[in-house]
Amino acid sequence: MVTPTNNTKTYTLNNGTVIPAVGLGTWQASEEGAAYNAVKVALQNNYRHIDTAAIYGNEEEVGKGIKDSGVPREEIFVTTKLWNADHRDPASALDASLAKLGLDYVDLYLIHWPVSWKAGTNDNETDWDYVDTYKELQKLVGSGKVKAIGVSNFTKKKLERLLADPEVTVKPAVNQIEAHPLLPQPELYDYLKKNDILLESYSPLGSTDAPLLKNATVQEIAKKNGVEPAALLISWAVQRDAVVLPKSVTDARVIANLKTFTIPDEDFDALNHLAEKVGTTRPNTFSEFIVADEEELASPSYNNAASPPPSPVTGSYTTNNPTISSANDFFKPGSWAPKVDLSSAFNPFMTQLSGAINENDQVRERQYTGGDTLDEPVWVTLKRDLAQIGKRLVIVLWPLRLKKLARLQQGRLIDFAASNGISIPQSIISSRRISVDENTRDDEGNGGGDFNTAMMENNLTWDLWGPLLFSLTYSVTLGLTAAGGNLANSVFSGSFAFTWLLYLAIGLNIQLLGGSVSFLSAISALGYSMFPIVIGGLICALVVHWWVLRLPLMIIMTIWSVYVSALSLECSGVLPGRVVLAIYPVCLLYTLMSWLVVIT
Ligand SMILES: NC(=O)C1=CN([C@@H]2O[C@H](COP(=O)(O)OP(=O)(O)OC[C@H]3O[C@@H](n4cnc5c(N)ncnc54)[C@H](OP(=O)(O)O)[C@@H]3O)[C@@H](O)[C@H]2O)C=CC1
Ligand SMILES: O=C1Nc2ccccc2C1=O
């Protein structure tokens, strides 16, 4: 039994600045007064390090909390971050942050993400990237407004590219990344150590609602040592010589989170190995956008990376979250294909596969696309919903990228099956695996488009607007073209009810076949993939009246719809081999729907 005590550890950054090991995180301290209170309570209870960012929208409150805490400014280490849309003009962005904070300087100024957006937008810059941004940041060093500069969410590859630039003369002092026992990032950890760049661990408790506190191993080790799981996770980060940034707006938790203890070697070792357990997953949905470039994921060193000291690990580090690569994969600025984030449109995929899913993931999976729409103008909600429908339609109309994603997902499912003793015929394995060439891409010159709108919209798991719109359009078209006006009503209601009943049945079937996609996501994907049939129906109703022409047109549309829904099923966690069972009723449904179009 140990009693955690206030942590006073500090590190010296590569430019000589001293930074306290434990800092207060402030993302999502967004309710009025929350950040102010948390910062004030923290500082009055011995914290000396506060982490904020321009995008958190709470710099004013943070500044006021600092001022009202009564702690002298020079005793406090304050970090803020440059937002993606301000990459071309960090000097002005820094001035704006300082004005809000009410400070003359910040101790650390970070590039929040290695992604440059055009000012005031979420669109990627095409002739500017994070290296250009960093060079602008370097100019701030002599201004007296920043003590140190650094980066956040940079992969090893991006850091290598940054450091290789001859005009980069100031080494980043830190790289702030997601890091905890389920995401130790061993290769990046080693790289940062070697290059004297301090690792700052964000989301040490697993982020929103602290899902890592429910992890069985974490609970077991915490219990054994007589400490709270939060204290264990925070202590683990410090013990591996990283900064750690737990966030809380609850007074008692803020105070508790500064208290750490020395984890016995054996337990520290167990935590270092936790992520190697097959099936361990990253707890967050947003984390998929940040860690690995495609090459890093593909590289054996990523999958067999060294574990943090003091106990080197020889096993493999695995993550089952396929969207880590897919987000990178499908945002490819400058590419000729539509710039659409497929991962967010067909998102839930396979985090559940491992059985290691926690409650929090499940709740997120079932969240409605639009988030909380009650507090915003109707027009904003409507615009977002329309954009969402448009985005998904592009995916349906351009299924080639969905195909690539499907192959990646199926490849990972095969790996999962292999490591869990589920046998899959060799023929299916070879037809489903993506080739290495297909799976790699050149990241150079890429302004970091792997983030883009996805970050803001990363919970886009399902919506029923499209299915509703298309089933209505289909039923209205059929009703209006049905022989004799008096039949219109019955045909409309009959086909509408029929379509939805089958959706529900197929959605259920996908669940029974072990798909990790939620029920509503399945219906959403089905509804959207019906789009070609709806278009075919409209064309038939408006211009093509002769069945000899209708038939081939509707055959093509049916194949198209079936193809798209098969791909989304492949993405949905249904094991290879079972996809046929899932697609069979979909085939029947679409064929029937098309047949009705041909004959009415
Ligand atoms: N650079 C970047 O891109 C990012 C940086 N960050 C930084 O890292 C900080 C921390 O990460 P964050 O994602 O916020 O998540 P954390 O892992 O710090 O977890 C925060 C959650 O844990 C809860 N919590 C905190 N302490 C306890 C406790 N002792 N017991 C139980 N629950 C607890 C909080 O609830 P409550 O507040 O209600 O108490 C909150 O729901 C951020 O605030 C931000 O400053 C985070 C993400 C990305
Ligand atoms: O600081 C951050 N917290 C986040 C959570 C979700 C997505 C992005 C971010 C940040 O940039």
Residue that wins the pLDDT comparison between 193 and 489? 193
Residues 6+ apart with CB under 8 A from 250: none
Would the pLDDT of 302 be above 70?
no
Can you give the pLDDT at residue 52? 98
**Ligand 2 atom having least distance to the Cα of 113:** 11
Residue that wins the pLDDT comparison between 366 and 232? 232
Can you give the pLDDT at residue 215? 93
Would the pLDDT of 304 be above 50?
no
Can you give the pLDDT at residue 437? 27
Q: What is the pLDDT of residues 30-61, one digit of tens each?
A: 899 999 999 999 999 999 999 999 999 999 99
Q: Which of 12-26, 136-150, 281-295 has the lowest mean pLDDT?
A: 281-295
| C-beta of 83 in contact with ligand 2 (< 6 A) | no
**Ligand 2 atom having least distance to the Cα of 56:** 1
Catalytic residue among 11, 36, 56, 528: 56
> Which of 22, 26, 27 most suits a substitution to test ligand 1, by most atoms within 8 Å of the C-beta?
27
Q: Please check whether residue 108 is in contact with residue 76, taking contact to mean a CB–CB distance below 8 angstroms.
A: no
Can you give the pLDDT at residue 1? 79
Residue that wins the pLDDT comparison between 149 and 583? 149
pLDDT band at 514 (very low <50, low <70, confident <90, very high): low
Can you give the pLDDT at residue 109? 98
Helix extents (H) in 482-518: 488-512
Cα angle vertex 346, ends 344, 351, to 5°?
85
Long-range Cβ contact pairs of 466-469 (< 8 A, separation 24 or more) = 466/389, 466/392, 466/393, 466/524, 466/527, 466/528, 466/531, 467/503, 467/523, 467/524, 467/526, 467/527, 467/528, 467/530, 468/527, 469/389
| C-beta of 433 in contact with ligand 1 (< 6 A) | no
> Residue 51: enclosing H or E segment and its boundaries?
strand 49-51
Would the pLDDT of 465 be above 60?
yes
Average pLDDT score, the chain: 77
Q: What is the pLDDT of residues 473-488, one digit of tens each?
A: 998 888 888 766 677 8
Looking at all shown ligands, the one closest to residue 259's CA atom is 1
pLDDT band at 261 (very low <50, low <70, confident <90, very high): very high
Give, using CA atoms, the residue closest to atom 2 of ligand 2: 27
Residue that wins the pLDDT comparison between 390 and 422? 390
**Ligand 1 atom having least distance to the Cα of 209:** 41
Can you give the pLDDT at residue 586? 85
Give, using CA atoms, the residue closest to atom 6 of ligand 2: 286
Show the beta-strand stretches assigned E in 301-439: none
Q: How many angstroms separate the CA atoms of 194 and 188, rounded?
A: 10
The pTM of the whole model exceeds 0.80 = no
Can you give the pLDDT at residue 321? 28
Question: What mean pLDDT comes out for the span 245-255?
Answer: 98
| C-alpha separations of 575 from 319, 417, 570 in Å | 18, 8, 8
Give, using CA atoms, the residue closest to atom 8 of ligand 1: 202
pLDDT band at 528 (very low <50, low <70, confident <90, very high): confident
Q: Averaging pLDDT over each range in 389-403, 407-421, 502-516, 531-545, which range is the top one?
A: 531-545
CA–centroid distance for 539 within its chain: 39
Question: What mean pLDDT comes out for the span 206-230?
Answer: 95
ipTM: 0.99
Q: Is 134 known to be catalytic?
A: no
| C-beta of 112 in contact with ligand 2 (< 6 A) | yes
Q: Is 193 exposed, middle or buried (0-12, 13-18, 19+ CB in 10 A)?
A: middle
Give, using CA atoms, the residue closest to atom 3 of ligand 2: 27
